[in-house]
Amino acid sequence: MNQFTCPADIPARAGVGFKLAHAADILAAPDRVGFVEIHAENFMGDGGAPHQMLGDVREQLPVSLHGVGLSIGAEGPLDKDHLARLVEVARRYDPGLVSEHLAWSSHGGEYFNDLLPLPYTEGTLSRVSDHINQVQDALGRKMLLENPSSYMAFDESTMDEIVFIRRIVENTGCGLILDVNNVHVSATNLGFTARDYIAAFPLEAVGEIHLAGHAEDADEEGEPLLIDAHDREVAPPVWSLYREVLSRTGAGVPTLIEWDNDVPAFDVLAGEASRADHVMHEVLSRSAA
C-alpha cells in the first residue's frame, strides 16, 4: 500500500471529479475542494502521466474511487479481471470510499460504455446482491452503490426502486451514493415525486452525495425527458433537493460535483463545490439552531 501523508478519510465537504487537465490547478490550491473522485477505469493503465498526476494529487487530498465499468447489474458473472484491476487501483491510492452503480454495461464480452438499466425483481435483486458481496469480499471493505438515472421503467419489475435498494443494503451491508440529480432526472422522466423518493430513501446508509447537471429533451409525446449529461452546472431544482436531503440527514455528507463532458476550467468546478459547501453549512447550522 502506498503511504500518503494525506489521510484517506473523505471529509463532509464538497469535492470534484478529477480531470488530468486540472491537476496543476488542484495542486496550486488543494484546499478549494475537500476531495477528488476518480473514475477507476481511467487509472487502470500500467503507468504514465495519469498515475504520476494522481499520485501528486493524492499527496494533498483524499480520493473517492468510483467505478463505472464493473457491470454489477449484469446477467452474467462479474468480470474477474476487471474486479482485480479495481482492487489494484484501491491498493494503489488508498481511497476513502469505493463506489459503483446499480446498472449493467457489459454483456457477451462487449462493453457498452453506458449505465444500462435493469428490472427490479427477486431474480435481479439476488444477482446484484451476489455481485456486491463479491466486490466487497475482493476489496475487503464496504462499497457504496449509486442510484441510477432512468429514462424508462420495466413492465417486469415487481418492486419499486427504493424497496430494491433497501433490500440490497439489507442483503449486503453496502452503503449508498445518493445521486440527487439522478433522483430529479428519474422523477421527471417517470412521473414520481422526487421529495417522496428522498423521504423513503435509506439515508442512514448514504456515504456520499452526487450533484450534476442534466440536459433537457422531450420524448415522442412531448413529455419532458431529462438526460443525465454531466455537462453543465447543477440545476436549481437539484440544489433544492440537496437542501431537502441535508435537512433530513442533519449531518454533513461528502458531496461530489460531477462534470464529465464539456469540462470547464477548474475554477468553475471549484465554484460549484464551494456553493455545495455553503449550502451544506447553511442547512446544517439552521437545523442545529
Partner 1 sequence: MNDNERRSGADDLPFVAAKQDDFAGAIASRSEVSGVHNGRGRAAADRFRVYKNNVIVSLRDALRTTFTATERLMGEEFFGAAAIAFAERNRPQSPLLFRYGEGFAAFLGTLPGLAEYPFVPEVARIEHARVQAYHAADAPPLAPDILSKVAPEALGETRFSPHPASALLWVPKGGLAAFQANQSPPLPETPAPAALITRPQFDVVVTGLPAPTAQFAEKLMAGAPLAQAAEVDDLDLAQGLGLLLGAGAFTGLVDLSAR
Q: Which parts of this chain interact with partner 1 (CB under 8 A)?
A: 41, 44-52, 68-71, 74-76, 82, 104-114, 116-119, 151-156, 189-192, 219-221, 223, 225, 227, 261
How is residue 254 annotated by DSSP? Answer: -
- Least CB distance to partner 1 at residue 230 (A): 11
Give the span between the Cα atoms of 199 and 180, in whole angstroms.
Answer: 12
Q: Which is nearer to partner 1, 156 or 267 (CB)?
A: 156
- Least CB distance to partner 1 at residue 69 (A): 3
Q: Which is nearer to partner 1, 71 or 147 (CB)?
A: 71
C-beta of residue 86 within 8 angstroms of C-beta of residue 38? no
Q: Which is nearer to partner 1, 151 or 239 (CB)?
A: 151
- Least CB distance to partner 1 at residue 17 (A): 16
Name residues whose C-beta falls within 8 Å of residue 186's C-beta, 6 or more positions apart in sequence. 147, 148, 149, 150, 161, 192, 197
Q: Which is nearer to partner 1, 155 or 204 (CB)?
A: 155
C-alpha cell at 164: 430494491
- Least CB distance to partner 1 at residue 98 (A): 16
C-beta of residue 184 within 8 angstroms of C-beta of residue 241? yes
- Least CB distance to partner 1 at residue 19 (A): 12
Give the span between the Cα atoms of 279 and 250, in whole angstroms.
Answer: 13
Q: Which is nearer to partner 1, 67 or 254 (CB)?
A: 67
Q: Which is nearer to partner 1, 29 or 190 (CB)?
A: 190
C-alpha cell at 273: 463545490
- Least CB distance to partner 1 at residue 194 (A): 13
Q: Which is nearer to partner 1, 47 or 140 (CB)?
A: 47
CA R_g for the chain: 18
C-beta of residue 273 within 8 angstroms of C-beta of residue 29? no
Give the span between the Cα atoms of 79 and 99, in whole angstroms.
Answer: 16
- Least CB distance to partner 1 at residue 30 (A): 21
Q: Which is nearer to partner 1, 7 or 45 (CB)?
A: 45
Name residues whose C-beta falls within 8 Å of residue 92's C-beta, 6 or more positions apart in sequence. 2, 43, 51
Total length of the chain = 289
How is residue 144 annotated by DSSP? Answer: E
Place of cell 474477474: 80
Residue 131: φ, ψ to 5°: -65, -40
- Least CB distance to partner 1 at residue 150 (A): 8
